[in-house]
C-alpha cells in the first residue's frame, strides 16, 4: 500500500540532499512564497545585517529536501530512522573535516549560545574538585558573561568570574589575561576568535599559551568567524553557530580528544554525551551543505567583504563626529561598526530602514534594556549613535556590492538628517 | 573659580544621547564655563561622557555615585575641538 503521508512517500535510497527536484513528490506546492529579500532596484531592501541569516540558497534547498528524507529520529531502528542516522553521520563528517577534527569530537546542539554555555559547564564540572573560576574577556558573548555573573553572585564570590579588559580596539589585554589566570581556582578560560559586534580578532595563540602555562583549558567561541575567516586551531573546546556560514541556527560543540570535559547531565547515547536533545537532522544537513558551499568560495568572498568593509569604514570616518571602531586591519572581513555623536541608535536604524537598509545597532536605545552593548562599553567607545553592519555572503545577497556602495553614500546624509531633526547640527 | 565658571546639567531621567547633547550645548553656548557637572541616571552616560571628552578634546575628571544617580565632572579645554571636525 502506498503511503499518502508526504513524510514517508520518498524512495528508499537516501537522496542526495540537493536541489528542489524532490519537492514535486512531496505534494507541497513549489516555492509557494516569493523570497521577501530583494537587493536591487529602487524601493528594494538592502540587507546589511546578516548576523542571523538568511540561509545560503543551496542550504535552503537542502533543508526543504531534507524535511522529506531526514525527518526521522536517528535513534530509531526502522528504515526512516536509519536513513536519518546516515544523513546525520555524513553531515557530521562534513563539518568535522571542515574544522579539521574527528567526527567523534563534534556534537550538534540547539543553538550556538547553548553550545557555548555547555562548553563552559562541561569544563567546570570536569574540574569541579580543583576550583570554579572562569576567566573570560570582557567582550565575550552574553552566554558566557550572564551565567558567569549569576554564578558569582549566587556564591557571593566575585572571583568566580574574571572579566579581562580589552584595549580600545576590543582586543584582549594579554597582561591582564595572564594576571587573571595566575589567580588560584581557575578551571576554564574563554575567548572568542573574533568579536561579532566590532570584528576585532583576538590573539588566540598567545592567549592559549598563557592559559596552558597555568594549566587552564581554553574554550574558543568562533560563532562570529566560522565560514568567514580561517578556522581557529588554538583551542581545547571550540564552539560555532551554523548561522555564521549561511546555515540555519545550530550549535556546534567540538571537544578535542583528551580534554577533560564532562556534562553533569550527560546521556551517553545523545551527541557523545554533550546534550540531551537529538538534533533535527534536516537542520544538520542544511548546516553541512552551507559549510561546503561557503568553504568553497570563502577566500574570494572574504576578499570581497574586506574591500566593501574598507569602503564603509572610509565613508563613515568622513562623517563629522563619527568614530569607526574595532581594529581596521586585524579583523573579520565582513563586520564593521561606527558611532556618531548626538544621535540615538534607534533613530539611525529607523532612518536607514526607511531608506531600505537593514542594519543593527549596539546602542541601548535599540535594545529592550537600558544597558548599551557591553562590547562598546568595555572598549571605552561611544555607545550611542551606533550602527553595526554584518555583510551577508555574496551567494545570499547577489546585490551586495551595489548595496554597500549605496549604503556608503547614504551614511553622511542619513546621520546629518537625524542630527538636523534633533536640532544638534550645530554642536 | 567663580560660579560663572561652573555649570551643572541635570539630565536625571533622560536617556542617551540627551545627557551628552545637553553637556555639549552648555559648553558651546557658555564660553566662560570651565567645569561642567552632569547628573544622570542613564547607564550609557558612564561610557558616553568620557568618550565625548576624548573625541572633543576635553578632560574627563571623575564619575561619582550619588543618591540615585551619578555625577560626571568634565573640565572644558578651550579652544575645544570645533563642531564638525571629524
pLDDT tens digits, chain A, 427 residues: what are they?
Answer: 333 333 333 333 334 444 434 343 444 444 444 444 444 445 689 999 999 989 999 999 999 999 999 999 999 999 999 999 999 999 999 999 999 999 999 999 999 999 999 999 999 999 999 999 999 999 999 999 999 999 999 999 999 999 999 999 999 999 999 999 999 999 999 999 999 999 999 999 999 999 999 999 999 999 999 999 999 999 999 999 999 999 999 999 999 999 999 999 987 789 999 999 999 999 999 999 999 999 999 999 999 999 999 999 999 999 999 999 999 999 999 999 999 999 999 999 999 999 999 999 998 765 556 688 999 999 999 999 999 999 999 999 999 999 999 999 999 999 999 999 999 988 8
Number of residues in chain A: 427
Percent of chain B with pLDDT over 90: 83
A240: cell is: 560555532
Question: Strands B69-75, B59-66: parallel, antiparallel or unpaired by DSSP?
Answer: antiparallel
Chain B residues near residue A370 by CB distance under 8 angstroms: 15, 42-44
Q: How many residues does chain B have?
A: 86
Question: CB contact, 8 Å: A427 with chain B?
Answer: yes
- The answer to whether A189 touches A206, Cβ cutoff 8 Å, is no
Cell of B32: 566662560
B16 catalytic? Reply is yes
Assess contact for A122 and A261: CB atoms under 8 A: yes
Active-site residue among B16, B61, B63, B71? B16
- Chain mean position to CA A173: 23
Rounded CA-CA distance A30/A20 in Å is: 8
State whether residue A348 sits within 8 Å of chain B by CB: no
Q: Is A151 exposed, middle or buried (0-12, 13-18, 19+ CB in 10 A)?
A: middle
Domain positions in chain A are: 88-295, 298-422
C-alpha–C-alpha distance, residues A178 and A187, integer Å = 14
Contact yes or no for A320 and B84 at CB 8 A: yes
Please tell me the pTM assigned to this model: 0.89
Distance in angstroms (rounded) separating the CA atoms of residues A262 and A122: 5
Closest-approach residue (CA) in chain A for B42 = A370
Q: What share of chain B is helix, strand, coil (3-state, %, to 5)?
A: 30, 30, 35
Residues A356 and A159: their CA atoms lie apart, in Å, by 47
For A362, nearest residue in chain B (alpha carbons): B44
More confident residue, B78 or A193: A193
**Residue pointed to by grid coordinates 542550504:** A59
Per-residue cell: B28:
558651546
Question: In whole angstroms, what is the distance from residue A151 CA to residue A17 CA?
Answer: 43
Contact A371, B16 (CB under 8 A): no
CA A50/CA A294 separation, integer angstroms: 14
Task: Name every chain B residue with its beta carbon within 8 A of the beta carbon of A376.
Answer: 47
Residue of chain B whose Cα is closest to the Cα of A383: B48
Buried b (16+ CB within 10 A) or exposed e, A178-210: bebbeeeebbbbbbbbbbbbbbbbbbbeebbeb
**Chain B interface, Cβ < 8 Å to A:** 15-17, 20-21, 24-25, 28, 42-44, 46-48, 50-52, 54-55, 83-86
Residue A105 phi, psi (nearest 5) = -85, -10
The answer to whether domain A88-295 has CATH 3.40.640.10 is yes
Judged by CB atoms closer than 8 Å, whether chains meet at B20 and A377 is answered as no
Helices vs strands, H then E, count in chain A: 11, 12
* Three cell numbers written together for A24: 514535486
Strand order in the sheet with A218-221: A106-109, A251-255, A237-241, A218-221, A186-192, A133-137, A161-164
The CATH class that applies to domain A298-422 reads alpha beta
Amino acid at each position: 500500500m502506498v503511503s499518502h503521508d508526504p513524510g514517508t512517500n520518498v524512495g528508499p535510497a537516501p537522496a542526495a540532499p540537493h536541489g528542489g527536484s524532490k519537492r514535486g513528490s512531496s505534494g507541497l506546492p513549489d516555492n509557494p512564497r516569493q523570497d521577501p529579500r530583494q537587493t536591487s532596484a529602487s524601493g528594494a531592501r538592502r540587507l546589511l545585517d546578516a548576523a542571523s541569516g538568511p540561509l545560503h540558497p543551496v542550504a535552503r534547498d537542502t533543508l526543504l529536501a531534507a524535511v522529506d528524507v531526514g525527518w526521522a529520529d536517528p535513534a530509531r531502528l526502522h528504515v526512516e530512522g536509519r536513513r536519518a542516522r546516515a544523513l546525520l553521520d555524513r553531515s557530521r563528517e562534513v563539518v568535522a573535516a571542515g574544522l579539521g577534527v574527528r567526527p567523534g569530537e563534534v556534537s550538534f546542539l540547539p543553538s550556538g549560545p547553548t553550545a557555548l554555555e555547555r562548553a563552559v559547564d562541561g569544563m567546570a564540572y570536569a574540574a569541579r574538585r580543583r576550583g570554579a573560576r572562569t576567566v573570560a574577556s570582557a567582550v565575550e558573548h552574553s552566554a558566557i558573561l550572564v551565567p558567569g555573573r549569576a554564578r558569582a553572585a549566587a556564591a557571593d564570590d566575585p572571583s568566580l568570574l574574571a572579566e579581562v579588559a580589552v584595549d580600545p580596539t576590543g582586543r584582549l589585554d594579554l597582561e591582564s589575561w595572564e594576571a587573571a589566570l595566575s589567580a588560584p581556582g581557575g578551571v576554564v578560560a574563554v575567548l572568542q576568535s573574533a568579536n561579532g559586534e566590532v570584528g576585532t580578532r583576538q590573539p588566540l595563540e598567545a592567549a592559549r599559551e598563557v592559559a596552558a602555562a597555568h594549566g587552564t583549558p581554553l574554550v574558543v567561541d568562533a560563532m562570529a568567524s566560522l565560514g568567514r575567516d580561517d578556522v581557529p586551531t588554538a583551542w581545547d573546546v571550540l564552539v560555532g553557530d551554523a548561522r555564521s556560514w549561511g546555515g540555519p541556527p545550530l550549535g556546534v560543540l567540538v571537544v578535542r580528544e583528551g580534554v577533560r570535559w564532562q556534562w553533569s547531565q550527560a546521556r551517553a547515547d545523545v551527541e557523545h554525551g554533550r546534550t540531551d536533545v537529538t538534533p533535527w537532522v534536516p537542520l544538520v544537513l542544511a548546516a553541512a551543505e552551507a559549510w561546503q558551499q561557503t568553504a568553497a568560495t570563502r577566500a574570494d568572498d572574504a576578499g570581497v567583504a574586506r574591500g566593501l568593509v574598507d569602503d564603509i569604514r572610509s565613508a563613515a570616518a568622513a562623517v563629522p563626529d563619527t568614530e569607526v571602531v574595532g581594529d581596521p586591519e586585524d579583523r573579520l572581513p565582513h563586520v564593521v561598526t561606527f558611532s556618531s555623536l548626538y544621535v540615538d541608535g534607534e533613530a539611525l536604524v529607523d532612518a536607514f530602514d526607511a531608506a531600505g537598509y537593514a542594519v543593527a545597532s549596539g546602542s541601548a536605545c535599540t535594545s529592550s534594556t537600558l544597558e548599551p552593548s557591553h562590547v562598546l562599553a568595555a572598549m571605552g567607545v561611544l555607545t550611542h549613535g551606533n550602527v553595526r553592519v554584518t555583510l551577508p555572503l555574496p551567494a545570499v545577497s547577489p546585490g551586495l556590492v551595489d548595496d554597500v556602495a549605496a549604503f556608503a553614500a547614504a551614511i553622511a546624509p542619513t546621520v546629518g538628517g537625524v542630527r538636523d531633526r534633533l536640532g544638534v547640527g550645530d554642536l | 573659580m567663580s560660579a560663572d565658571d561652573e555649570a551643572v546639567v541635570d539630565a536625571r531621567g533622560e536617556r542617551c544621547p540627551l545627557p551628552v547633547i545637553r553637556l555639549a550645548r552648555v559648553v558651546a553656548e557658555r564660553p566662560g564655563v570651565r567645569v561642567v557637572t552632569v547628573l544622570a541616571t542613564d547607564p550609557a552616560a558612564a561610557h558616553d561622557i568620557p568618550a565625548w571628552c576624548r573625541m572633543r578634546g576635553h578632560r574627563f575628571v571623575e564619575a561619582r555615585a550619588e543618591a540615585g544617580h551619578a555625577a560626571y565632572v568634565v573640565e572644558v579645554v578651550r579652544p575645544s575641538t570645533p563642531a564638525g571636525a571629524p
